[in-house]
Amino acid sequence: MNRRSEIDATSVLLPVPVAGRVGAIPTPNFLLPNDTGGILPRTIIIRCGRGILGFLNFAGIVGHSRSMPEVGCELYKLITVSGTDREIFLQGQLTQDISLLADAGRLWAAWCNPKGRVIVTIRLIDQGDSIGLLVPESLADDLVRRLTMYRLRADVTFEVSDDWRGIIGDDEADPLTLIRSGVALIDDSNTEAFTPHMLNLDKLGAISFSKGCYTGQEVVARTEHLGKSKRRMMRYTADADGMAVGDKLSDSERNVGEVVNVSGRDLLAVTPVELHDRPLTNGDITVTPQPLPYSL
């Protein structure tokens, strides 16, 4: 759904949870009125801590959608998992083989619900005596709450912090970089909507098919053993602004796909594999398929 609302210049800058930690300095053209209802270029300076992170240019202040804002400063949280049972516990929850993490240093993973739908995509970080889960800020507290429900008697603890900067670079946190790399970001806007295969997580090495059971494993394994998934994520570019997470894509006869992530006119969407070579539409907007950096 493309949710739009009338907003003022300050509320468009950042979501409330982020605004307290990231400074946004509007430049003069940001405050210009837009009485005609048209689109005007806007510029703000994004400041993180004591330094300036960069400049953000975007269009219009008459409305916003779930693809905005795209500021990579405090949109992540680090969940540190400690305790003697941390590896065993996570091995029974995540799609990735945790035993590979010590040598790899960092790995992609997902946490699924029992129906095999992805709750969140995760970057696993080896921290020596603990394991870091880099997750979207919007889901962090709920993830800890839900993980705690599975803890039972396991010796594991969870600590949420903002200490992820330096673990990954700003380019790796950038939504456009992720989209062009064919990597889905699953947060509170699209959680529990797609299976790992739909998101191409098997192509990213984020799923182990040789380790033991984990939450949602039966559904994921069945999809793998049945052969190719009929619906997978593809990269597209739109010919106009306005696409949002959750928007439907049509082949002119029926809805055939759903948008996963958006950054400007670049987007990822889950669509039928047989239609991956064809343009699709959302109202008056046409999206054209673009190559992924891996084969499907």
Structural domains of the chain, with CATH? 1-70 (no CATH), 76-225 (3.30.1360.120), 231-290 (no CATH)
Please tell me the predicted confidence (pLDDT) of residue 175.
92
Question: In this predicted structure, what is the pLDDT of residue 263?
Answer: 96
SS3 assignment for the chain: CCCCCCCCCCCCCCCHHHHCCEEEEECHHHHCCCCCCCCCEEEEEEEECCEEEEEEEEECCCCCCCCCCCCCCCCEEEEEEECCCHHHHHHCCECCCHHHHHHHCEEEEEEECCCCCEEEEEEEEECCCCEEEEEEHHHHHHHHHHHHHHHCCCCCEEEEECCCECCECHHHHCHHHHHHCCCCCCCCCCCCCCCCCCCCCCCCCCCCCCCCCCCCHHHHHHHHHCCCCCEEEEEEEECCCCCCCCCEEECCCCEEEEEEEEECCEEEEEEEHHHCCCCEEECCEEEEEECCCCCC
Look at residue 74 in the predicted model and tell me its pLDDT: 60
Q: What is the pLDDT of residues 234-266, one digit of tens each?
A: 999 999 999 999 999 999 899 999 999 999 999
- What's the confidence (pLDDT) of residue 171? 82
Identify the pLDDT of residue 267. 98
pLDDT of amino acid 200 = 98
Predicted structure pTM score: 0.76
Residues of the chain under the 50 pLDDT cut? 1-73
Q: Return the pLDDT at 5.
A: 34
